[in-house]
Chain A
Amino acid sequence: MRNKLSSIANCGIILAVLLALAASAQAQDGADLVKQLCGKADAPVRDAAQLAQAYQEAIDYLMPLMSADDVPSRYNYQIMFQDMGSYAARPGAETERQAMAKVIVANLDRADMLDVVRHWFVLQLERIGAGESVPALVKLMAADDRHLADYARRALEKNPDPSATEALLEKLSSAEEAAWKIGLLNSLGQRRAAEAIERIAESLGDADPNVASAAATALSNIGGAASAKALFGVLNKPLGPVSVKVAQALIDIAQERTAHNDVVNAGKLCVAVYNWATKLTRDPNGPNPFSIRVAAINGLMTCDPDKATEEIVNIIRDGDPRVGRVAVQVARQAPTTAPMRALARVLPELPPHYQVQVLGLIADRGDLSSVGPVKRVLHSDYEAVRLAAIDTLTEIGCDESAEALLDIAVNGSGAVQRAAREGLALMAGPRVEEVIRASAASGDVKKRSAAIGLLGKRRVPGVAEALMGYAADANEEISSAAFKAMVDVADMVDAGTLADLVAKTSGQGARSSAGAALRAALTKAPDKAAAAEAVIERVRNSTGEVKVTLLMSLDAAGGPAALQVVTEAAQSSDEALREAGIRTLGNWPDFAAADVLMKIASNSETSLTHYVLAMRGALRLIVTSDSAPLEDRVNLCFKAFDNARRDDEKRQVVAAMGAVPSPKVAERLLALAKEGDFKAEAALAAVELAGSMLRRDREAARDLAQKIRDLNVSDDVNSRAEAVMRGRPMRGRGR
């Protein structure tokens, strides 16, 4: 007996395993089949019947998965189903598309299908369905599930088969609910179903304005004379809730006519709608469909530009400001320049806000013939108009514009002068460069200087040579202007040649400008060492102020050779040279100058001025030399603190320590924060240091902040320390 029971149990287990294996194999088969039908696996050649069978098997596999209790898990299978449809509807696979669509249709009646799954099935028919799907979709439009009915309606809207139009039309005849009518009207409009015009036109008189509006939109989508006639039937009646919508629809039809080169009929539509809208505005208590007037005149601009131009000039002179403000845009979009020129002619007599807009229009069209009218408002009482006129002349870009702007660039003031200069710096166009070059070459010194400045700003090829020539001019103002302009073309200038020019320059102003130009050239030199060497050579061969000017440019180049020369100068017995050397060291770009600066600062014989300069230079290096070895920066901090002659400098050193992320510095700051004259500065610097350490070593940063908080130096320091402890340091010192 026991053996028998055991045998039965074993058989049961085997059966269960076999069933599980069968189910798994079936699932594997289903997944493989779906892959084939999505084009993601090799598939055998199938005829229509075999395809139908394959799609049915795939759906049988997917359906339960698309309906699973675990709702999020359904998505992947929905997408597999969609991918099957996308692949079936690929170009050149009509047999597959049709087979799949038919299988979808055949499954729509399944009782075991969830509503949301049925929606998804119909959505696929929207994307791949054709004539074979229409009867089923028509049936679904009568479904109790209103969402399903609308899915079906949308699928018919996209269906390329003519029978879909018939179905939608038939449904419209019996439709009662407003939303449903709107959907059907919209579908017919989207299908551009000319055969539906008559029926849609009936809906223009629907009691529900939303339905009537949808009918107007549908007619505008279909377009053509018959639609326009139906819409005029409403527009010609007394004003109603859909009149404006109807007018918009007519404008759309006019645009469609224009696109088909039927400008005669398009023009008629625009005139009629424009007159209708204009007539309405005469009633002060009535509506003002100004946007309709704008759209109509815009349409007319293409069909009858003369009439439209005349009208926009009238409007902008004496019309509804809401239409007037758009009139300029109508002219901007016009196919010819006639409307712009008509507005340019009346420019001086327009109110300032229209002047600004019309000037913008002229600028956009870059019309050379409008320079005259623009110049007439160039000296308007309104700065905004003057600025707009300058912009416009800049845009037009010609010799006459350039002359006009040069005059303002020289004799103007404030924002207007700046605008003229900026405009000239960028102005392109015939003979502009010639005007500027000619003005730089001769004439009034003030004008020449301005033009020379523009040459630099414009950076045209060959300008560096021209500026070198002007820099050598005997007139200091011209020479100075040229050196200033060279800053803008410093990358084109040879430092050695420029240094020679500096040596020849007389006059304090020109030499100062020359020094600035030389610094700029050294900064931008591609080979800084070579450029520095060229200047060093000239430093050695020069004397007096020239030597000082050349020397003081060397920090812009940096490097050991330059540092050596500057260091020697800083120790010179010549007071002027010594001061120049120390000042230059104070601006040195890297940490290499630290030792010599400290040496100067710590020398008790150094004058107070030089001591301050050296100290400031050292402080700057402490804060900015991130790439220098940390230990060197730490040592510099301590030396600077120990050698500071006055408390002011000691405070500055303490503050600078906050930028040096070192445990030694933290320790020193903590000690200083505990007692002594620099408690407040040290505590604040320590908190800053802690804040900057947060990213690298959160724990050490919090520990430091905690220690400062424990010292309770001040409320400000406490709150900053607490902010660091929270991991969100405050910005700024905010003392």
Chain B
Amino acid sequence: MEIKEYFYRAFSDIRKDHDLPDDKTICKDILERAKKMKKCDNVRQVKFTEITPEYAEPKKSHKALNVFAGVAGTAAVLTGAVFGLNWLNEHGGLKGPDVQGAGAGYHEDVTEQLSADTTENNDILASFVYDDFTVNVTKYDFDGKSLNVYYDVIFADDCTLSSGEKLASVLPMAIFSEENAAEGFGELISETDNTQSCIYRTTLKAYTEKLTVDFKPNEEGYAEFGGNPFTVYADHKKPETKEIDAVGKAVNGVVPMDETVELGDCSVHFTGYEFDSEVVTFYYDIIGTTRMDIRPMGINGAVFNGTAGTEDKENNMVKNCHATVALYEPVEIARILFGKNLTDLTDKSYTSENAAFAVTVHFDPESVLKLDREDVYARFNKDFPDYVLWMTKLLVTPTHITERLIWENGDQSKAFDYFGNENMRVMMNDGEIKEAHRFSIITADDGSNIVWLTYYFDEPIDTAKVSEVYFDEYRLYGEEIPKLSAGDSFKLDDGATAHIDYMHYDGFIFKTQITVHSDDPDYSTNKMKAKMAADPDDHVFMITGIELVGETGTAFSAESDDKGCDVGYTYFTVLPENGQFHTGRIWDDSSDTNRTVGYIEYGGIVDNNTGYTRTFHTESEEYGTRDIIISPYGFKMEQSGSDYYLKSLHNQLIVVRKDGTVWYSGYDAAGDDSSVDDRQMLFGAFDEPVDFNDVYSLTFCGETFVLDDVAEAPETTE
């Protein structure tokens, strides 16, 4: 269903659907209400309170953020004994060991100390006997970090368990060491359907020479049964951290590698990395296992984001792995530590002692389009008004774009939606637009409010040919286009000339005007016709314009005579934060190309702006409470919801000067600030600036504010 049809069907019979009274009844009710109402005096005298806050430099929040970056496959650390019989207990299918039996033991003939020679321990090393089944440990291997235990589950002949229950009975069986209990974790890594042969692995956080192993059932049913633990010794000495120095020339942004790290039971083959001085992405395959357990570590000034790879069971490997790490400071060389089988690689309690190996990467500045402004570069607050993001760095490489942002306040989820749904765009010198799609987000885990965002191109780009970089409506880069100022002119594609008449800023409102002149008197009419033909709703034809920060108001005028046609555009905005400079892209849409012709810089600190902005707090029963902020060039106010500004009288600012002369000013147009979700903020720019020093009173929206309450009211003259 088309949207138009949808509305027709939804509302065409609305009176009938909602059982509303007929017209006569409605009128009768209204007339009765009117009779009961007292006649109101429409003249209101509002007492004002002037609030003019001292100007202060904008502050940035230092609110600590929670760690966002996660580690795939993070596992819980087991701190106590678990034995995977929960399922059977819950289903009542398992008969426990004979509590009254000798020594209440549930295993027998346990070897107290076992050899670490895995070639010799193929017999039954330990048995755990239950009424329904017996667990026989047949083998183990231990390298000081990882213990694999091999065991069979033998069911008794009279076992009443179904085949499914039998299978479930061998589900997670944990082993823990007494010395290392809080650091190890375990999981069942293989099993067979019929023979119930299992391998269980426990991984320790740090290397240890010996490990005491115990089997223990779950505490609910079998806590009273103890066993005879046995000790195993590592068959490897503590390995030294292997080092790879990955030096090379980047090809399309990627430094190729062909390095293999042997790790005993598996190896890691690196094929390349990308490094833009802040974010590094590794590409590698893990050979000899299908477990994704080789990852960078989020320590030593690095924030680890996550890994991904493709499991290839046929070749017993994980191929095409990639892992991303962000660095707190841009560096030329970074040494990234990799861990193996560690539970949580962002865990700050890890040290380099826990690393399996390290890879040193080198930044190749020639492969990166680097915008290295450490000051505030762009300020994002669109659609998430409760907080803002400051972009402090932008890096464009042949493969990706990295932004470094600083958060200020608030819920991040909306912003993640925003950044997830919007692509980065670069414009090449020939005008072609390239989009960077995929994104990852890395959030600092040191309590600072830094976020790194990465966007990837579908195919490598030539960064030397990048002319502009955009995110949504924000133009982030494009230094080579001319900077324009008030008084400058520029040619449009259709032959007309545009002129920047003025740029005004009073510390609150920014207002500028561009006039397009054509020698053709029908220029405006023809442009309008062309736009209307393309889109009947498009009543305003934007020949040129400026992208301003935040919600903007626009006014339009067109005048023609025999000398030609002048089309005027007035733009204004309430700047989000006084004291900040902004960049506005000027575009030419005269031939529908939306070509960038230059940019302006606006905002900044206005001398003596303290006192320029006046805030009036008003209260009335009819219109409620609201604040009106008036600056020399315009105003911003919370819409009261009443209709007073529909009246022409209220569409003006009435200024009574101290000498009694009255001056009237309209406002060019009004815009609303949708960044304030539940409030309507109306703002506009006055026709002419107000000199507060020469003002006795202001009347705006039907309300009078006396600025000079010391002086007597002057006799007014028009």
A joins B in a complex: no
